[in-house]
């Protein structure tokens, strides 16, 4: 299903449905297609918002995790979202965490899936290997437990990015920024209810990363999905949506009377 991309000021975004905002942040090679199953399910229950992060539009000095967080903060302020549920995959999770540390006041919950911020395996020292389609295809397939999830459209998207010299430079800048910006010593400051959904077969942020996030974030709960890699919302959308919806509903239940 295609959704209208709205343009207001410098912001491009999708907004579908009504109710409490559910804001989705994509990763380094993320596209709207990554969230299609999630948008389609949750737009019947929440106001689902997907800002398109300016991965390639910022000048090089601001092409960092912090630069993306500032963009997200401006977007949330501009749209005046409150009591929002913030979800991020991969680099998007990292941006969500930095935002929660800097501006927790509007956030009701955080959901992380395959998030960077503690540890991640990059695309390797030889990345990006421009012009080698098979290499890019194999690297893209590593994102998933089932390599066939990386269909031709997705591989073509990644291939186009790494074969554009300026985009490739910015991808490297963001990847290096993510490695430098380790949040291990700050995560205990996050008091917002946090859901961690991890693929048991994630090769980029392996399962031990999910466990470490749970250990470091005080009010967090962790779920693993079997036969699933780095992007559970794409590879196992039904199970992902079920876990997320249960978590969000629980936040709205009145506190049990002791």
Q: What angle do CA 115, 253, 255 make, to 5 degrees?
A: 105
109 DSSP β-pair partners:
85
- Pairwise CA distance, residues 232 & 211, whole Å: 16
- Residue 155 maps to a domain: no
Q: Which helix (H) or strand (E) holds 222?
A: strand 220-225
Average pLDDT by stretches of 10, the chain with 258 residues: 90 97 92 89 98 93 96 98 97 97 98 93 53 87 93 91 90 92 95 98 96 97 98 97 98 65
Most distant CA atoms of the chain, gap in Å: 63
Q: State the pLDDT at residue 253.
A: 83
Domain that holds residue 54: 6-122+182-251
Q: State the pLDDT at residue 162.
A: 87
Query: Residue 25's closest CA among 70, 91, 73?
Result: 91
Q: What is the CATH number of the domain that holds 97?
A: 3.40.50.1820
- Residue 238 maps to a domain: yes
Using CA atoms in the order 236, 237, 238, 240, what is the torsion angle rounded to 10 degrees? 90
- Residue 130 maps to a domain: no
A 10 A CB-CB count for 123 gives 21
- Residue 195 maps to a domain: yes
Q: State the pLDDT at residue 128.
A: 52
- Residue 57 maps to a domain: yes
The tally of domains found in the chain comes to 1
- Residue 144 maps to a domain: no
Query: Residue 228's closest CA among 154, 147, 141, 144?
Result: 144
CB 106 within 8 A of CB 84: yes
- Residue 20 maps to a domain: yes
- Residue 162 maps to a domain: no
């Amino acid at each position: 299903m295609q959704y209208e991309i709205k343009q207001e000021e410098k912001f491009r975004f999708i907004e579908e449905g009504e109710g409490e905002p559910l804001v989705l942040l994509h990763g380094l090679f993320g596209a709207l297609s990554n969230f299609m199953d999630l948008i389609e399910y949750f737009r019947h229950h929440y106001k689902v918002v997907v800002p398109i992060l300016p991965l390639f539009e910022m000048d090089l000095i601001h092409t960092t995790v912090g630069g993306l967080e500032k963009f997200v903060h401006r977007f949330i302020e501009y749209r005046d979202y409150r009591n929002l549920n913030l979800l991020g995959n991969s680099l998007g999770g990292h941006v969500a965490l930095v935002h929660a540390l800097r501006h927790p006041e509007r956030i009701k919950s955080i959901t992380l899936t395959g998030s960077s911020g503690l540890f991640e395996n990059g695309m390797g020292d030889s990345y990006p290997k421009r012009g080698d389609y098979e290499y890019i295809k194999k690297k893209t397939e590593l994102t998933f437990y089932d390599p066939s999830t990386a269909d031709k459209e997705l591989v073509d998207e990644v291939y186009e990015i790494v074969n554009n010299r300026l985009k490739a430079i910015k991808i490297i800048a963001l990847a290096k920024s993510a490695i430098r910006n380790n949040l291990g010593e700050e995560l205990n400051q996050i008091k917002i209810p946090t859901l961690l959904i991890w693929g048991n077969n994630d090769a980029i942020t392996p399962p031990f990363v999910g466990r470490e996030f749970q250990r470091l974030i005080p009010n967090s709960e962790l779920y693993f999905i079997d036969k699933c890699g780095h992007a559970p919302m794409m590879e196992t959308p039904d199970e992902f949506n079920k876990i997320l919806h249960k978590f969000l509903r629980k936040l709205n239940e009145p506190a049990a009377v002791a």
